[in-house]
Structure 1
Amino acid sequence: MILRYFTAAVLAWHWSHATRGGVVVVAGADRVAVVYNLRIRSSECIYDQFQAKESVTYSVFVESESHGQPKATISFEGPISGNEGLHPDLGTMEENHGGIQQFNQLGRELRKGAVTHWPNIKDKDKGVRFDKRAGIINRELIADWTHAGEHEDAELSRLEARRKMKEHLSSTPKSDFVKTMMIDRIEPFEETHLIKADGWYRLCVKSLASKLLVEMDLRSSSQLGGIDKETGHVYTHEERATLDENVLLKSSDASPVESSDAAPVVKVDEDLERHLEQQIKGTDLLPTQTQAKHLVSLVAEMMKMHDEHKRRVRSHRASARRNYDGVSRSGWLETLLYVVVCGFQIYTVRKWLLQNSLLSGNI
């Protein structure tokens, strides 16, 4: 149990990357994170099925593979399929096209549902948006990690940025205008949504003007056991593993654990039983359990700090490359400008000297 955490801590320093097409598989101790390699103006999506009344958190972290900006368009929408009961009052079949009957799927509802069905339902729930009432999620934004971590000493600036982000997330988008979110910290961008309609949902990330390495994940409260009160998002896989270990340590007593591979228990003599009776009490393991819990929390904190440090190093390396390119371009421009100015000066001086020599010859 504790050995598994030590193994996780060791393996965290030795990630194994296997490239398969446009996907980089990052193998950890307990789970596998998929990092997508996006070309310029390309997109990747992940899909998952969720039930109503559960919360879902999506997490996206973007790194620039080349010298471009770590900037991408993030969209979370659904249900895109499996929502036959979304509009039961409107029927389950759409119009007949060429003798083929088509089911109501939200892939089409996202495009034309608000226009097609709005006259039929606009008076049922006054003051409530059609997509909000039906449970349609169509969230899209642009996240920019270009300046993440550059002003970490300015606490007031970070607080102001967080306040604006909370105001933006709490406000319901009323137009198709896509806003740009400036990420102030080197960490994944996360949002939590309450699912109102059953079906399949998708999270898509699209690169804008540079090659990107994108890590994205969908976490369900029904699978990971709820929402973290401190962050307001669904528990991560690492946090869930730590909580399970704490519960296991708390529930473990001094009673031996039976193993399926263990040999049959041999009955000891009555004299030996009498001598061994009351030798080990349940309270004797309390200090050990306390130390084990503390060790589990320390290992989990170390893994979290390692992940944050790894992201920070990669982000600073990409920022250094961008700054180097900018300085290099500025140097080339200054050198070119210097050559042009020097050439113009030489031409001007030479022309002036020639004019003076001609004037002196005439005299």
Structure 2
Amino acid sequence: MQQPLLSQFIYHTLPSLAREITAVCLLLFKLMIPVLIVVKALEELGAIPYISRALEPVMHLVGLPESMGLVWTTTLLTNIYGGMLIFFQLAPQENLTVAQVTVLSSMLLIAHSLPIELRIVQKAGVRILVAFGLRICAALMLGGILHLSYQWGGWLQQPVELIWQTPVTDNSLLSWGVSQLKSFAMIILIITALMSLLRFLRWIHIERLMIWLLQPLLKLLGIGTQATSLTIIGVTLGLSFGGGLLIREAQNGHISAKDCFSSLCLLSLCHSVIEDTLLVMTLGADLSGVLWARLAFSLIFVAIMTRWLNRTSDAFQRRWLFNTSDNSKESVNAH
């Protein structure tokens, strides 16, 4: 006789879901905590301004003053919030236009938080040098395209109005530690909500409807249907969440290495489109670049990349593109 629905939910579904949530959160924390400590140490030692000097000449290629190299470096090593703090300290002296801020913001959206996000992408199945090159090159490509387009059309050349100022912050180690603990608690809550939602969507078969609706776009991009829901999560909420779930699915053998690679490339270029887009708009960026151009660029880039990927051999993919060693090892341990 089949167990009552409530009994099955309490004794089977909830424990199973709890185990999955715990595994994903522990995996993310194991990746994030060492990186956070190293980046904080570099920040305390004052190393970030020295690192930024290498990016100063690159800023001219996208029509930005050299000082914006420090903004991008801070964002690359920390996060968008860190870059924003530096931006609002430097921007009043630079007389930036809306076009320039939009170019800078589009680059920040594609390439930020690299120490953490590259480690997550590597764990999910992409070689770290490939992921690094993809983020940096794509950011510069989109920044260059936007710069030339705005310059050619004479668009958004008015001075930017700074609509937000950075509050006074406590930079002590204690404050930093408390902030990270709050972030970890929020990650646990979000992962719990996401995995519960995914389990519910699978139970009522909504996932099949999502796959059917997105089939034309998936076919165009060359991303398999198994990665659909997790790609949507990453695009809307962030690479850490989508990547964390992709790691779990890849370890369990539910997603092929090629689909995982394609999905992660899309997430690397276009993730957290709601929160991060709203965030950089407080800098004075225009929606045309930070949302529409970014979306179009990401979709076209990934569509071209997956077609190139189809022309390469399996041996080439395994040697130069895919990072399957971590997944296979974790998969063995999990079983």
Q: Structure with the greater relative contact order (CA < 8 A, sep ≥ 6): 1 or 2?
A: 1
Q: TM-score, normalised by structure 2?
A: 0.20
Structure possessing the higher radius of gyration over alpha carbons: 1
- TM-score computed with the length of structure 1 as normaliser: 0.19
Query: In proportion to residue count, which structure has more helix?
Result: 2
